[in-house]
Amino acid sequence: MTQPPHPSRCASHLLPRGEKDGIDRRALLAAPLAVGTLAGCDRLAVAEPTPPTVPPLKSIAPFPIGTAVMAGHFDDPAWVALARAQVNQLTPEWEMKMEYILQSLDRLTFDAPDRIAAACEREGVRLHGHALIWYSQGEQAFSGFDRTHFGRAFDRYIAEVAGRYRGKLVSWDVVNEPIAEDGNGLRDSHWSRNLGDDGYMIRAFEQAKLADPEAVLFVNDYNLENNPVKGTTFLRTVERLLKAGAPIGGLGTQSHLDIEIPAGQISRFMRDLGSFGLPVHMSELDASLRRERGGDFRSRAQRLEQQRARVVELAEAFMALPERQRFAFTIWGLRDSDSWLRRDNRDDGKDQPLLFDDAGRAKPLTAAVAEVFGRG
Ligand code: G3I
């Protein structure tokens, strides 16, 4: 197991002290056959093969295994038991972002991220900070400034937030999702309009480095495997920022996978991403069974096979990176029911994008990923 950049005590548990220490792995790993019923256009669902007993992912992966967390999860014993068994790194799903912290520029709220940081600190579980600067947040609070005051407020926010968690986390997503949606160039945002297209990113990394010199500083984006144009623009942007002296310490690919992309696309991108020699964070894996484009006549078995094939390709591509570059493999939620994809208005309640089912049981997909990680 690679050692995290920060000295990390071995994770004892995420349960409050005094809880029994045993893990009832059978309860976690038992995956009774879910024999589907005749429903809608899904013909009689085929009974799921019971996956072989799957050892905890964090114990077989030669790198940290992460998941997204919300402060409220620590009040759910089932979530805590599953997280304690399976992962050794956490990423706040939303409560370390401006939308939670920045009530206004002179009123910052830290109760939830502090609770998450305290849980990680107490249990020796790594904390990955997410996200300091994101195009989609902060516009209202930062509006009304002239450029000078905008820059000062920008610096002050990063200093305050990254400074607060210095020594409590191992890394930050300093800039999240800077590439345009279609992959052609950079996103236009209040950050780029006030501080320059590359300027705001270089400044964010410089300020984060000042606030927390030990943290690994990531730039993080999505659809990089799904859309080769966007992936290439991301790589070119990283190259340009590094040349400009931005202290980028790691590269995050979110991997919200489109399971219908051609085989090989993921592997090619991961190989190119690794060519910088920097730590790579596979930062937000989920693999929706839904097709956003409508008109989906695939059977459930076909969708599950596509999902398995792409997630295995991703796991293999990550495993193929040099050990020192395998920062962490983070799944964007533990149980399917924890997924953001199950909280949006397009959800039909049937999506199964993650590695554990609604009851926290391993799935055939879990076994497939575990087999790849077990190749060591
Ligand atoms: O929990 C509160 C609830 O108490 C309140 O009533 C409700 C209405 O305000 O909000 C709830 O919080 C929401 C939270 O998700 C939990 O559901 C926030 O409003 C909502 O903004 C937040 O959305 C998150 C989103 O990022 C925006 O921060 C999603 O959970 C999270 O999965 C998603 O994650 C992003 C990554 O940060 C970046 N990559 C893409 C990924 C998916 O969009």
Give the pLDDT confidence score for residue 101 in this predicted structure: 97
Give the pLDDT confidence score for residue 346 in this predicted structure: 80
Give the pLDDT confidence score for residue 28 in this predicted structure: 39
The arithmetic mean of pLDDT across residues 192-205, rounded, is 98
Give the pLDDT confidence score for residue 1 in this predicted structure: 35
- The residues, any chain, with a CB within 8 Å of residue 242's CB and separated by 6 or more, are 248, 276
pLDDT tens, 144-167? 888 889 999 999 999 999 999 999
Of 22-31, 180-189, 249-258, least confident by mean pLDDT is: 22-31
CA of 72 to the centre of ligand 1 (A): 13
Which one, of 313, 316, 239, lies nearest residue 278 by Cα?
239
Give the pLDDT confidence score for residue 15 in this predicted structure: 43
Domains and CATH numbers, the chain: 62-374 (3.20.20.80)
Taking 70 as the threshold, does the pLDDT of residue 49 lie above it?
A: no
Ligand 1, residue 254: give the atom nearest the CA: 39
Please give the share of the chain, as a percent, with pLDDT higher than 70. 86
Beta bridge partners of 42: 39
CA of 340 to the centre of ligand 1 (A): 7
Ligand 1, residue 68: give the atom nearest the CA: 32
In this prediction, residue 123 has a pLDDT band, given cuts at 50, 70 and 90, of confident
Give the pLDDT confidence score for residue 332 in this predicted structure: 98
- Measured from CB, residues less than 6 Å from any atom of ligand 1 are 93-94, 97, 99, 176, 222, 254, 284, 340, 343
* Distance linking the first and last C-alpha atoms of the chain: 10
- The closest residue, in CA terms, to atom 27 on ligand 1 is 94
CA of 101 to the centre of ligand 1 (A): 13
Q: Angle at Cα 224 formed by Cα 66 and Cα 181, nearest 5°? A: 115
pLDDT tens, 74-115? 999 999 999 999 999 999 999 999 999 998 878 999 999 999
Mutation test residue for ligand 1: of 73, 90, 94, 226, the one with most atoms within 8 Å of CB: 94
- The closest residue, in CA terms, to atom 13 on ligand 1 is 94
In this prediction, residue 24 has a pLDDT band, given cuts at 50, 70 and 90, of very low
CA of 374 to the centre of ligand 1 (A): 33
Ligand 1, residue 94: give the atom nearest the CA: 28
Q: Where does the chain have alpha helices with state H?
A: 25-29, 57-60, 77-86, 98-101, 111-123, 147-164, 190-195, 199-211, 228-243, 265-274, 300-319, 364-373
The structure tokens 């050892």 sit at 55
Please give the share of the chain, as a percent, with pLDDT higher than 90. 78
Mutation test residue for ligand 1: of 67, 102, 172, 340, the one with most atoms within 8 Å of CB: 340
CA of 299 to the centre of ligand 1 (A): 30
Dihedral pair phi/psi, residue 367, rounded to 5°? -65, -40
pTM: 0.88
Which one, of 303, 284, 281, 283, lies nearest residue 348 by Cα?
303
Task: Name residue 106's amino acid.
Answer: D
Q: Is 260 a catalytic residue?
A: no
Which one, of 227, 235, 376, lies nearest residue 315 by Cα?
376
Work out the mean pLDDT of the chain and round it to a whole number. 89
The arithmetic mean of pLDDT across residues 196-219, rounded, is 98
pLDDT tens, 218-267? 999 999 999 999 999 999 999 999 999 999 999 999 999 999 999 999 99
Taking 70 as the threshold, does the pLDDT of residue 6 lie above it?
A: no
In the set 48, 95, 284, 313, the catalytic residue is 284
